Amino acid sequence: MSVIVGRSRVATKYGIVAASQPLAARAGVQILERGGNAVDAAIATNAVMGLVEPQSNGIGGDLFAIVYEAKIGTLHGLNACGWAPAGLTPALLKSRGLTQMPQFGIHTVTVPGAVSGWEALRAKLGSLPMADLLAPAIFYADEGFPVSDVIAAHWASLADKVAAEFNAAQTYLPNGRAPRPGELFTNHDLARSLRLIAAHGASGFYEGPTADAILTISKEKSGTMTAADLREFQPEWVEPISTTYRGWTVYELPPNTQGIAALMMLNVMEQFPLGEYGFHSARALHVMIEAKKLAYADMLRYVGDTRFGEPPVAAMLDKAHARQRARRIGAGDAARDVQPSVFDGLTTSAGQDTIYLSVIDRDGNIVSLIQSIYEGFGTAIVPPGTGFALHNRGALFTLDQAHPNALAPRKRPLHTIIPGFMQRGDTHIGFGIMGGFNQAQAHAQFVANIVDYGMDIQQALEAGRFTKGTFGGADVNVEALVPESVRDELTALGHDVTTVPPRTGTFGHGQAVMSDGSGVHFGASEPRHDGAAIPEAPKIM
């Protein structure tokens, strides 16, 4: 098994926080050490992440979470994805000369759901006041923190985008440039925004000065956001969807997320003996890549906001359907045009900047949480005096009114960000790997690494991956950690292989935590980013 492992798992009897920036993970651990639980620690970690990795997440974006409540063995799903403003319609965009959904700009701004997600998590499952949870982020925002290496490089690559927006440049380009690795960065405006949330909860964001600032910038840029759009938004508790994979149960959140594509991939992959084929064998990778194409074709065709129409989830996850789709995978050629399935009663029609974190506490509760402003710095539109950028998540809508993901007032778009969870017996794993439409295919590869190849959670994250960011053709990016001979075999099978150097952001990056029923907890954070899995310290004094 050719797995190059740069790190070992973290193991402890107590809690662990795994995040893509160590200061954020440590902030969550501080909350655990003060008696908080996994939910409390996840909120604190996410709040710091919005400061220290601002191009990828923050209170201007959305949030999803799966929470495992160990005492009663229950999974909770949270969809804190905001809706489109009531005034944002295809007709309005057409009147402004737009014939397709824009990628950036004020018309891609949907209501940011993250803060409502924090409040929902804390109210239902948390134990500490919001002021305690946001204290580390407020401290770092006011006192400054040294920017970490991978984040600094990503930040610098987006400098031109940020410079084009005055408020963003004032916030994120001190001295007219992006901060360098190790350089201190402060964000006093964000500290003020967080203090309002600490004092007033979600209403400190969706009403009052922060809401006023969002509405001001929206009006300046001819947007349609109203006070009612912000004030009336509520997150939704949802039932995770699942499938079985060789004796494990794997969970994702239901539509409007792409999570169903990971489960559909696994259902197709289960039809082939990947373990016998061998890790990083051309046969196994060929099956996975083709399964990706099949699953994504269905996901893109049928997934939208369930409040505007129910996608055929049961039919999409049916094992018989997976067997039928698996028969489309040829042993000797890569498909270049995969059509979606046709289910009874339905007809067919024609970003990758995110953070993922996972937490396990001393009692075995697990939070799998993902949060994003979509593409780098989102829209780069910063409401005046707030210290955060608004996301461009609305870019994922389509203007094709026959499609389930068509833009409509108060509708939520198809969403790329997905937290994952898997279990078998007493073993429970919270995991996630970010990266736009990389995510579902990366989730399926992580699960296969655990189930088919016997890896631990650190090995499963570090193993070389493939990713196919497009939805047609035979192109695929393959990490150089996959042997050259295997990449050559994939090319011979008809795949248009692009080899990408190891440890880049192309394949996303993730974290995982695990309990196995022994009382020992494990954490992992992969070396494609700055992250760490940090254990809680016991009280010794």
Q: DSSP assignment of 408-471, as one string?
A: -TT-PPPB----EEEEETTEEEEEEE-SGGGHHHHHHHHHHHHHTT---HHHHHHS--EE--SS
DSSP letter at 390 equals B
DSSP letter at 72 equals T
Supply the pLDDT for residue 337: 86
DSSP string, 230-281: HHT---EEEPPEEEEETTEEEEEPPTTBTHHHHHHHHHHHTTS-HHHH-TT-
DSSP letter at 147 equals P
405, pLDDT greater than 80: yes
505, pLDDT greater than 70: yes
Supply the pLDDT for residue 55: 97
Residues 152-175: what's their mean pLDDT?
A: 97
- Domains, the chain, in order of start with CATH, read 14-237+358-396 (no CATH), 238-248+256-352+437-523 (1.10.246.130)
pLDDT in tens, 250-307: 999 999 999 999 999 999 999 999 999 999 999 999 999 999 999 999 999 999 999 9
Burial of 275 (0-12, 13-18, 19+ CB in 10 A): middle
222, pLDDT greater than 50: yes
Residues 433-438: what's their mean pLDDT?
A: 94
424, pLDDT greater than 50: yes
Supply the pLDDT for residue 333: 85
Spacing of C-alpha 219 from chain mean position: 30
199, pLDDT greater than 80: yes
Q: How confident is the model at residue 332 (pLDDT cuts 50, 70, 90)?
A: confident
pLDDT in tens, 342-370: 655 444 444 458 999 999 999 999 999 99
Residue 161, SS3 per DSSP: helix
89 assigned to active site: no
> CA-CA-CA-CA torsion for 130, 136, 139, 142, nearest 10 degrees?
-80
485, pLDDT greater than 80: yes
Which pTM value belongs to this model?
Answer: 0.96
Q: Which of 12, 210, 257, 354 is catalytic?
A: 354
Residue 420's contacts (CB-CB under 8 Å, 6 or more residues apart) are 66, 250, 251, 252, 259, 262, 368, 430, 431, 432, 433, 443, 446, 447
* Least confident range of 69-73, 419-423, 435-439, 449-453: 435-439
Supply the pLDDT for residue 349: 44
DSSP letter at 474 equals S
- Distance in Å from the first CA to the final CA of the chain: 45
331, pLDDT greater than 80: no
2, pLDDT greater than 90: no
Supply the pLDDT for residue 260: 98
Share of the chain above pLDDT 70, in %: 97
Residues 172-192: what's their mean pLDDT?
A: 97
Residue where the block lists tokens 């944002």 = 88
Nearest-angstrom CA–CA distance, 362 and 27: 16
Residue 220's contacts (CB-CB under 8 Å, 6 or more residues apart) are none
Q: What is the overall mean pLDDT for the chain?
A: 95
Q: How confident is the model at residue 3 (pLDDT cuts 50, 70, 90)?
A: low
Residue 23, SS3 per DSSP: helix
538, pLDDT greater than 70: yes
Supply the pLDDT for residue 353: 80
Residues 489-518: what's their mean pLDDT?
A: 95
Residues 442-459: what's their mean pLDDT?
A: 98
- The closest of 500, 536, 239, 224 to 365, measured between CA atoms, is 536
35, pLDDT greater than 90: yes
In contact, 418 and 440? CB cutoff 8 Å: yes
